[in-house]
Amino acid sequence: MARLAAYRAKRDFTKTSEPSGRTARRGGSSYVVQKHDASHLHYDFRLELDGVLKSWAVTKGPSLVTGEKRLAVHTEDHPLDYGDFEGTIPEGQYGAGTVMIWDRGIWEPEGDPEDGYAKGRLNFTLKGKKLRGAWHLIRIAPRPHRHQESWLLIKGDDAYARSEDEPDILEEAPDSAKTGRSLQEIAEETGS
Ligand code: MN
């Protein structure tokens, strides 16, 4: 399907175990954050919308501190079954490195999500294992020489928010929400 053309063009499925992907018609609402130990560690934040996983790379990862803005660079749509992928992308392939399912669950948009996505403002509730409550994704003005859209991921103010003095969720809960493994255990294919 054309919507996954960018995803497929970057990958050689004879060499990587990532899914070649399919889209679906079902109106699901899955949500996943994949911790990706590539050339730079980052967190891939993905929301199911319109049969694919809309995707943003969050360099610093999500913060539970209300109002703390985390840059989320929009990346190519991923297939729905990518949300179940945990493993290692081989050296020399696009995104080479270890991928962990750091969090997953469902998301509930406030209002029409396709409209919000098009307008660059998504307000939603997350029901994951680690991230819960109100969140915002807001598109910001294009930055020079960047062709990818920049968005900000921000925690809403509610009972799930934390102050700056409280533990950082990234350090408090670093391991896989799917298998409990660490990045190293996934890289070595042990611990599950
Ligand atoms: Mn990534």
Spacing, Cα 36 to ligand 1 middle (Å): 5
Spacing, Cα 38 to ligand 1 middle (Å): 7
pLDDT at 23: 65
Answer yes or no: pTM beyond 0.85. yes
pLDDT of 192 strictly over 60 = no
pLDDT tens figures, 103-121: 999 999 999 999 999 999 9
What's the mean pLDDT in 33-58? 96
Spacing, Cα 45 to ligand 1 middle (Å): 9
Spacing, Cα 77 to ligand 1 middle (Å): 12
Query: Quick one: pLDDT band at residue 42, thresholds 50, 70, 90?
Result: very high
Spacing, Cα 90 to ligand 1 middle (Å): 13
- What percentage of residues in the chain have a pLDDT greater than 70? 96
**For the chain, which residues make up each domain, given as ranges?**
2-189
pLDDT tens figures, 61-81: 999 999 899 999 999 999 999
Cα–Cα distances in Å, from 184 out to 4, 36, 44, 91, 103? Answer: 30, 12, 18, 16, 17
Spacing, Cα 94 to ligand 1 middle (Å): 9
Spacing, Cα 34 to ligand 1 middle (Å): 8
Listed residues: CB within 5 A of ion ligand 1:
36, 44
pLDDT of 97 strictly over 80 = yes
| Contact assessment for residue 134 and residue 156, using Cβ atoms and an 8 Å cutoff | yes
Query: Quick one: pLDDT band at residue 24, thresholds 50, 70, 90?
Result: low
What's the mean pLDDT in 20-27? 68
pLDDT at 3: 81
pLDDT tens figures, 132-149: 999 999 999 877 777 889
